[in-house]
Structure 1
């Protein structure tokens, strides 16, 4: 690469000998990772002119381009700024057998904001902790996370920038900001060292590459990638063997404390007359609140879970009827498709997060991980066991970005569920709502009861609380849903700052 010609370190013969061994090895490992279905995330961070691009290009020259995607991200777009900080990174994660390469990732965005943009130290540290959690979540589900910090001395960076600046073909790469980084080299080092120390962990470690010498840098990067690929393959083999073995039985309950759904008064009713009055008043109120949430750029997420035939669909229809369809989306959650299965279970939900000022209504949600996947054995106990913390972190990020998170659990009695099942079988226009799977789920009522109790106790937080709906009477349930959403949005609007205030790092 122009401006990167200094090679006082490794000799040419030694370099070529190393690369002759490493490159075929890299290609073979790439093919084996694809066959094993291991996702790979590679980050190249460091100073401008530190050789990030050269290292990435060299790596990509031997990786299968059909399974590799490069992300060179600049400042967030307006669309990205209207969502949580990690949204643009979650949505770009590679699937199984794929490789995602980031030249400038969340770390570059945070370092730049801290040094040049006035990001407060406390918020900087919080984002780094979120990065740790993000990387840990995807790594625990099988993604190989490789992080490179490409270090270059101030003197060598300056030399390279001058060479670029003097060459018309490369001069566009050198800007005022680039020279400013060189002048503040020590400050960048100090801040970067703090970030690397806080986010260096066994499951997603940093590799520091001394980049003054091009040949040494290239060998270091390729060797590190090969070694990491080999470790990932061994881990994948172990995971495959464990998956074939019979999954150990998880505990019936993982949380001590009373079951929140025990003792509910399921006899609560609302007269048709009172319901119509409430529906009209609450509908008008919600229509106004939707407009105000748009003006304040407040995203709203309403999520419905409940026993089969508990009335989720009817409650969603009544809520949606009150809203302007241009400002909301209803996302019905079914079994994941092949692309969704190739990613972390939260990936498909991150993709549906509304932008600021818009609403998304989820008909079932990410809680399937600790409900149906737990009960049916679709994931192992250690997976659904750690999902409680992962979900709390997910919802915390939504709330921190300004979202109103409203979560409903609709509860009916076994007797009422049976009545509704039989009605669905009897009435032709409702028959499509009942399946054999519904009857099988009913037989597992005690297992779902325990899973629901753990879910409610583990994931009800001040920023994303659960509201339990007594749903034996549909009119009572629908009115309570409308009222709860209205009250939650009103409360958030009162606490919100000026429009657009939350759209920051």
Structure 2
């Protein structure tokens, strides 16, 4: 791919000045349209060391309003980033709607210098990268990817020039010298990455980097031309009104997963007290072990209103070291979260290696609440199942234990619990008008839940249905399932 690039292209000074002025003015106008239309834009700069990426970024920034631009230099990982999944820092730094974000180096550089990362091979990580970019494109993001290309001889010449001056010699690092020494070997790997990730909507633009003026004009022209087209397409696209996508007795989505769940299990008194004590002690020891082994644990709780999610989480966490876990109650997204992809806020709170994240409701609101309340389009709803499965697989590939609980009760039991809460002054805060309103849509929610369970129960993140008609039984089952999942990961399973 790169071998065929002619690096001797140039532009004369007069043509450069004229083109730069025109393109700079156009980019200023286009940036304002991007902000007005709330379109997120991601610009990735990759390339050889000393190819001039920093200079090109500076040239690009000049015509832009700095209030709506973010630049991230991503050469070295921080401690927090090192202890999170491969894509965590890129998710957390992805642009808001209406914002332009520039990555000076990205996940492609991470892959270039590592044959494997956290036990996942290059192809596996490249799949994660392609999934990330596809997910962002599906959410309306415009992605530009520039690879700034220079020859081995040109790179060596630039390094030598930098080393001649004390003020710039520090910029040539041992890794830079190693890159030039092994240029031809790295070239093969770079070509492979470019070919594997040159996808529709996130294609690579190769920038011939020998002459700065030519490279600058090519970057500015590529951005202006495509932004103009993307904005026009966005403005001309038919406007689809949001409406509920799932209705009661909708056979298109209905399955019978929950119809086969028996709810007659019970556990009370001394049996429950002993099981609770035993499980909490065992879980405390296992928490220490996964911390020492640096194994992260992700637990998502879903279920009917009043099914006992809060009570189960309380028993799960009450004997754990509070420094090692966090419980995240998930409500409607706030204004900042609405400016990002719906998975952004969950990626943001993925635990560090050896830590535990517990979600009281989770990313599954996307395929339960949103389609019923008319908060997403049909295409977005359909895509979400794949996006969620990929998210969970990426966590699993990273080494995390992923556990998902659906706490199940029947309509009669829910009404009983609602009534008890309504009549108890100390528990009235637990019941809201929205709970009663959602209860009227029980049949619709059941269809959504059945579909969710069927489409997102995978080998790396299976759903565990918890029979929650009896609260004590449900709490013990949750504890035992978490213990079993950790022991399996540690190789202690008796199965």
Q: 1:119 to 1:460 in 2, by over 3 A?
A: closer
User: Quick one: distance in 2 between partners of 1:391 and 1:210?
Assistant: 38
Structure 1 unaligned residues grouped into runs of 5+: 1-5, 497-505
User: Quick one: distance in 2 between partners of 1:421 and 1:459?
Assistant: 29
Q: 1:294 to 1:160 in 2, by over 3 A?
A: same
**Aligned residue in 2 for 1:216:** 214
**Aligned residue in 1 for 2:298:** 301
1:182 to 180, 183, 199: 180
**Aligned residue in 2 for 1:73:** 74
Q: 1:279 to 1:390 in 2, by over 3 A?
A: same
The question of 1:318 aligning with 2:315 is answered yes
Q: Secondary structure of 2:121's partner?
A: helix
Q: Secondary structure of 1:204's partner?
A: coil
Q: 1:64 to 1:368 in 2, by over 3 A?
A: same
> Deviations for 1:315-372, whole angstroms, at most 9, x for unmatched residues?
1111111211111100000100010000000000011111011111100000110000
Shift of the alpha carbon at 1:77? 2.6
RMSD over equivalenced CA pairs, Å: 2.0
The question of 1:266 aligning with 2:267 is answered no
User: Quick one: distance in 2 between partners of 1:259 and 1:297?
Assistant: 39
**Aligned residue in 2 for 1:32:** 33
Q: 1:404 to 1:447 in 2, by over 3 A?
A: same
> Deviations for 1:19-60, whole angstroms, at most 9, x for unmatched residues?
121110011111111111111111000101111111111011
Q: How does 1:222-261 map to 2 (within 5 A)?
A: 222-238=220-236, 241-243=238-240, 245=241, 247=243, 249=245, 252=250, 258-261=255-258
Shift of the alpha carbon at 1:232? 2.8
Q: How does 1:57-136 map to 2 (within 5 A)?
A: 57-114=58-115, 123-136=121-134
> Deviations for 1:255-304, whole angstroms, at most 9, x for unmatched residues?
68x52211211121112221111101111111111111111111111110
User: Quick one: distance in 1 between partners of 2:219 and 2:244?
Assistant: 40
**Aligned residue in 2 for 1:169:** 167
1:205 to 188, 203, 211: 203
Shift of the alpha carbon at 1:395? 0.6
**Aligned residue in 2 for 1:150:** 148
**Aligned residue in 2 for 1:397:** 394
Shift of the alpha carbon at 1:120? 11
**Aligned residue in 2 for 1:503:** none
Shift of the alpha carbon at 1:237? 2.2
Q: 1:119 to 1:405 in 2, by over 3 A?
A: closer
User: Quick one: distance in 2 between partners of 1:225 and 1:366?
Assistant: 33
Shift of the alpha carbon at 1:74? 2.2
Q: 1:306 to 1:247 in 2, by over 3 A?
A: same
1:443 to 440, 443, 460: 440
The question of 1:488 aligning with 2:485 is answered yes
Structure 1 consecutive aligned stretches of length 4 or more whose deviation exceeds 6 Å:
118-122
Report the count of equivalent residues. 485
**TM-score normalized with structure 1 length:** 0.92
Contact 1:45 1:108 in 2 (8 A): yes
Q: 1:253 to 1:464 in 2, by over 3 A?
A: farther
**Aligned residue in 2 for 1:41:** 42
Q: Secondary structure of 2:402's partner?
A: strand
**Aligned residue in 2 for 1:408:** 405
Contact 2:242 2:377 in 1 (8 A): no
> Deviations for 1:86-117, whole angstroms, at most 9, x for unmatched residues?
01111111111111111110001111213xxx
> Deviations for 1:181-228, whole angstroms, at most 9, x for unmatched residues?
122222222211111111111121111111111111110000011122
Structure 2 unaligned residues grouped into runs of 5+: 1-6
**Aligned residue in 1 for 2:382:** 385
Shift of the alpha carbon at 1:254? 5.9
User: Quick one: distance in 1 between partners of 2:252 and 2:171?
Assistant: 55
Contact 2:37 2:98 in 1 (8 A): yes
Contact 1:409 1:468 in 2 (8 A): yes
The question of 1:352 aligning with 2:349 is answered yes
Q: 1:219 to 1:207 in 2, by over 3 A?
A: same
